[in-house]
Structure formats: structure tokens, C-alpha cells
Amino acid sequence: MIWIVRTLFALLAVYLAFATLVFVGQRKMIYFPPDHYEAPPAGFSEITATDGAIGWHVPALEGKPTVMVFHGNASAIDNNMHIFRELVSAGYGVWSVGYPGYPGNTGSPTQSAISAAALLQYDALCELGVENIVFYGTSLGSAVAAQLAAERQPDLLILDAPFNSMTDMTKMHMRFLPTQILLKDKWQSHEAIAGLSVPIIWLHGTKDQVIPLAQGQKLFDGYAGPKSAHVLRGAHHTNTWFHGGREITLEAISKL
């Protein structure tokens, strides 16, 4: 009997130690900033918002909207150039949003810090006289875009491979932990967009092995505003743009 009790206590100690490790190091399990920063290419301006956050900007042609692009957790401000070039070629402006703790930006990545930086960069864009703004968020960036949309409503919100909430995602990978309690950055996208009337475009690949299609479907189904779903067959997590996402995005923006 004693050995059973000792075994249970040992297992409990291991469980608590693991939970503590996850709690302490959780942000390193969510955010993966690249190691280096690339200077903006020709045509892009590096603009610093009031908090020091850097955004890359290309102005739109007259009468065209500007697209704020929110990158994923393992990307950086200099990624998604294939998207930037297509948008610029169509005459649209681009603002690539920089995150605290990521290349080119100081600070540490947390939900509050990233959300605050995105808000200040939106305001910096408006100070340039830009009025028509689209949000395009991919992966974690979709959650950043959703949070910003709750504060500053865009003309269009494009969610590429989004998740319903970080709480849902952690439950998928750590079912045996009380992630609802342990999680610091919950990124509740479904709560952020609840009650909005912003048109939403949802893009998601059928072969996405990072954020399951069901997560995007859950977020889309829970939204009561104007919306359009685009399930892209054969697309993985990072290549929806090449599996129909490009055409869908450019057509949707052209209608604004």
C-alpha cells in the first residue's frame, strides 16, 4: 500500500514540475522570432511608431486601400514579400506590422505588447493620411489582426489559416494540463471579433498540419457578421497564397 502512495506522490510531483515548466516557458513555445533582420528593399520605407515598433510601408496609389499584413509566430516583418509584391503591383499600399521582440523591434513578445504595437502602427498609418485599410493576418497574425479589429475596425479583415483561440490550440496539444488557467496569452480571436460588422474573408488549407481546418471553421462559424469562407484544397499552412488565396484576396480588395 505504501508503495502505491509513494508512486502516486511521485507522479504528482512530476506532473506539477512539468506544469510549472510549461507555465514558466510557455511564451518560448508560442513565439519563435527569427535570428536576423533584413533591411527593407527598394520602395519600402521603415517607419517607427511612437513605441519604437517598426513597420514597413509602401504607399498606395490614389484611391486604393492599404493592407496591413500581420505575420505568423515564426516569421518576421521582412517575410511575405511574395504577398507584398502582388499587392503593390495591384496599386495597393502595404504596411508590414512589426512585433516586439522580433527582428528590427525591441521588447519581448507577449499578447499585450504585440497588440499595443499593432494599435500604434495602425495609428501611425492613419497619421500618414491613409483612410482605407485592410487587415491581412496569417496564422498567429490572424489573432493579432482580430485583436486590432476590435479596437480599430478595418474595411476588410482577411484571416489566413486562423485559430479560434490559443486556449483551443493548447488543449489540442496538452489535454492533460489546465491550459485555461496556465495560459498567459490566450489570443481569443472569437471574442475579439464578436459583435463586429466587418466583412471577413477566411482562407484555410485542407492539408494544414499546424492549425487544423476545424479551428478556422470554428472561428468562422461563430462570427455573425458578413463573411466568406474559402477552403483551399491541397494547401498547407504557409502556401494558401499559391492555392487560390492570391486571387481571392486581390478580388476581395478590388471590390472595396
- Given a cut of 60, whether residue 5 has pLDDT beyond it is no
For 89-144, how does the pLDDT look when each residue is reduced to its tens digit (9 = 90+)?
A: 999 999 999 999 999 888 999 999 999 999 999 999 999 999 999 999 999 999 99
Higher pLDDT among residues 240 and 54, named by residue: 240
CB 101 within 8 A of CB 80: no
- The model's confidence at residue 162, banded by pLDDT at 50, 70 and 90, is very high
Model pLDDT, residue 227:
98
For 7-59, how does the pLDDT look when each residue is reduced to its tens digit (9 = 90+)?
A: 555 555 555 555 556 566 667 878 999 988 888 888 999 988 776 788 999 99
